[in-house]
Amino acid sequence: MMGVTPLFARHGQVVFDRAELDQIIELYGRMVAAGHWRDYAIDLGQRSATFSAFRRASERPDMRLVKDPALRHRQGQYALIGEHGTVLKRGHDLGAVLAPARRRLLKLVAD
């Protein structure tokens, strides 16, 4: 019997694994529930994989998470890119890279 092949993966294609997708989709669900995001897109390429989150489908992405394995020994393979193309966070740990997006969910509660 043959092994399980991921649905989207082709030979040499960069993909998000299950643990990465769990963290990304968990954040996406919380942002949708908070009313920040409404749509997403996943782009799987030969050099990088990108998860983009949108406020509205007709706009540019509010946030992009890029996985580039070529940078894993340098700056880190994950990069969080803001709406205007600025790199908000880069690193080796996906949880730490997603932290700026998670901070948007925090609300100040007054007494």
Confidence of residue 9 (pLDDT cuts 50, 70, 90): low
CA 90, CA 67: separation in Å to the nearest integer? 10
Assess contact for 68 and 81: CB atoms under 8 A. no
> Mean of the per-residue pLDDT values for the chain?
83
**Confidence (pTM):** 0.80
- Which residues are bridge partners to 91 per DSSP? 78
**Domain residue limits, the chain:** 18-103
Task: Name the more confident of 68 and 108.
Answer: 68
- What average pLDDT score do residues 10-36 get? 86
Sheet holding 63-67, edge to edge: 39-44, 49-54, 63-67, 78-82, 87-91
Is the per-residue pLDDT at 103 higher than 80? yes
CA 111, CA 57: separation in Å to the nearest integer? 38
Distance of CA 20 to the CA centre of its chain: 8
What confidence score (pLDDT) does residue 111 get? 55
Q: For a pLDDT cut of 90, what percent of the chain falls above it?
A: 32
What does the chain come to in residues?
111
